[in-house]
A and B are shown apart, each in its own frame.
Chain A
Amino acid sequence: MNRTLTVLRAGPAMSVQDQGRAGYLAFGLSRSGAVDGLALLEGAALLGQDPRLAALEMGGMGGEFAVSETTRVALTGAPMRASIDGVNIQWNASHLLEAGQRLSIGAATSGSYGYLHLGGGINGAEVLGAQSAHLAAGIGKMLGDGDTVSIGPDTQTLTGQKIAAEPRFDGGTVRIVPSLQTEFFARSEIARFEATSFKRDTRGNRMGVRIIPDGDGFKTEAGLSVLSEVIVPGDVQVTGDGTPFVLLSECQTTGGYPRIGSVLPMDLPCVAQARAGATLQFQFVTLQEAVALERREAVRRKTLRGSVQPMIRNPHDIADLLSYQLISGATAGDDLERDIS
């Protein structure tokens, strides 16, 4: 029988996401895929499965879920309060969800996008080679109350594992490389950009996030006469009023505003996860430095599975603590005497 996950109650921005569909830029279709690609890798490591499998991306908050048959689940990305039948469960960990149980995932305690992974992955229809919803293009949809997704076959049984997630949920400093239009900005404006603290605006979605400088906006020497040109996720586009936008996985494929630089792919999850009000800063690195950083990160990501460990349960999370036999070997207190005798 086909296992399914039912969304009993959906948060505001929940969609199926995998690593996206490459190969359609020439037709104006950006890749889409999880805005925090690292979270997909962490979920796959926890469940010991292929990182290309699709998961549920949950913006801001989760929802309530049930499965038709016992299913392994893992939770990664922005930490959210989660419980199974009222018993708190750990984030960045794998758990067993039995048929009839209710998995509740609340609001993010930091960061923006949480991920619910299923053992066997989500087994939905592919459109142009991927399951990722691309809402701006009209592919897929936001999931709502009562929607179900089909779960792929799972050959494994291991749960109760945890992973130490790379910190990326509270803003911070992200690395940026010069790109094709960086020269449109005076050196003094680039220096000021690096010295500026930005607050992530309330305006933001899977296409990109607006970041508000703590000083003046940024001026270009090119003005508004720039020809529309190719744009990619990570690009920092400076709009007419001087406010930058950082583009994410569902961005358009061309843009008419000048780009001051482009965020390293490995640092983009930190931008995507920053919640409204979080502070972001940018540090330029050379392409050579970027390659060295990405190479090191690629090795770390390949060995993520090695950093998965068995979970040690926190007694506070065990609802039926008192029913456990916590002290073994209690005796009447006369053992020694009896042994002697």
Chain B
Amino acid sequence: MKNMQTATWPKVKTAGFDGFLISFGDQLNEPANRAALAFRDALERAGLAAVQETSTSLVSTYLRFDPLAFDHEAMRGELTALLAERNWFDADLPKGRKLWRVPTVYEGDFAPQLDEAAQAAGLTTAEAIASISTSRVRVQTIGFAPGMPYLGALPEVWNIPRQTALNAQTPAGGLCVAIRQLVLFPVATPTGWRHIGQTAFRLFRPETDAPFALRPGDEVVFEQTTPEAFAKMQNDPDGGAVSEVIA
């Protein structure tokens, strides 16, 4: 069974010279995602002196430590002991999670690959907009670029592959889709994901006290708005988005 601690999962591996990766699966599933978030939280609370930094990916927890102060085998022992404390796959999601409603334009130059993505999903463009704009998706991880969320899971029809060629430049705030996930870009970037909508939501605000807008576990609905309304949201760092605490 995928959702239980087994002889196979979790796996503890070294990552580079000074890191470990604790993986709870080799494909994305919700229990493994929750396990990775909960284990990172436990690792932070354990406060091991040699640990310098922790993070999560979709189904793994990463830690960086000082191997000159604490050797790899000793660190592996600490991690194995902490893993044995509970079944991480039935852990709760993080506390203090928010629900964000982010206005999104799904037409014209704001959504240059929407038609193509809808076709790949076997939907009309109108059906695609209805599906995406009403799906409540969760931040599964933040990564790749600063503050950049991977969100899911979308309905099964959205299990469409990434493109083999890259888009030259998708703008900051661009909403893109592939493999039942949405990504939202903090900075303009080349990507293999299809650009299906545009927001004015600033994910990374390095000049402020709260530089990262989203956290893993937060939920988001990309509600449809018009280009006219969108134009007025450009100067608002939240791009017209509103949030409420849900847990």
Chain A: residues with CB nearer than 8 A to chain B?
22-29, 127-128, 136-139, 177-180, 227-230, 232, 234-235, 252-254, 262, 264-265, 287-288, 290-291, 294-295, 298
Contacts and interface: CB of A to CB of B under 8 A. Distances in A.
13 contacts: A25-B54, A28-B186, A29-B147, A177-B17, A178-B14, A180-B15, A228-B58, A229-B57, A230-B143, A232-B15, A232-B16, A265-B18, A291-B67
A26 B214 CA distance: 11
Contacts of B27: 227
Given A26-B55, A28-B142, 8 more contacts: A25-B62, A26-B40, A29-B204, A128-B211, A138-B187, A228-B143, A230-B15, A291-B68
Q: Which 9 A-B pairs have the closest CB atoms?
A: A26-B55, A262-B16, A254-B143, A29-B146, A25-B55, A230-B62, A180-B13, A27-B212, A232-B16
Nearest to B71: A291
A288 B141 CA distance: 32
B204 A137 contact: yes
A28 B26 CA distance: 21
B60 A230 contact: yes
A136 B147 CA distance: 13
B206 A139 contact: yes
Contacts of A232: 15-16, 19, 64
Contacts of B40: 26
A39 to B, nearest CB: 20
A277 B15 CA distance: 29
Contacts of B145: 28, 136-137, 252-253
B85 interface: no
A178 B58 CA distance: 22
A62 B144 CA distance: 31
B16 A291 contact: no
B55 A253 contact: yes
Nearest to A175: B17
A23 B73 CA distance: 24
B113 interface: no
Contacts of A291: 67-68, 71-72
B247 interface: no
Contacts of B15: 179-180, 230, 232, 262
Interface string B186-216: 1100000000000000001011000110000
Contacts, number: 120
Given A27-B142, A136-B187, A298-B68, A228 B57 contact: yes
B211 A180 contact: no
A289 to B, nearest CB: 11
A287 B144 contact: no
B59 interface: yes
A295 B59 contact: no
B212 A287 contact: no
Interface string B47-64: 000001111111110101
Contacts of B17: 177, 234, 262, 264-265, 287, 290, 294
A180 B20 CA distance: 8
B148 A26 contact: no
B207 to A, nearest CB: 7
A28 B71 contact: no
B113 to A, nearest CB: 19
B242 interface: no
B65 to A, nearest CB: 12
A269 to B, nearest CB: 14
A5 B27 CA distance: 52
Contacts of A265: 17-18
B206 A128 contact: yes
A235 B144 CA distance: 15
B142 A26 contact: yes
Contacts of B56: 26
A294 B69 CA distance: 12
B206 A252 contact: no
A240 B14 CA distance: 24
Contacts of A28: 142-148, 186
A294 B144 contact: no
B57 A22 contact: no
Interface in B129-170: 141-148, 150
B21 A230 contact: yes
A184 to B, nearest CB: 11
B72 to A, nearest CB: 5
A211 B30 CA distance: 37
Nearest to B143: A254
Contacts of B52: 22
A22 B68 CA distance: 18
A262 B67 CA distance: 15
A217 B141 CA distance: 31
A177 to B, nearest CB: 6
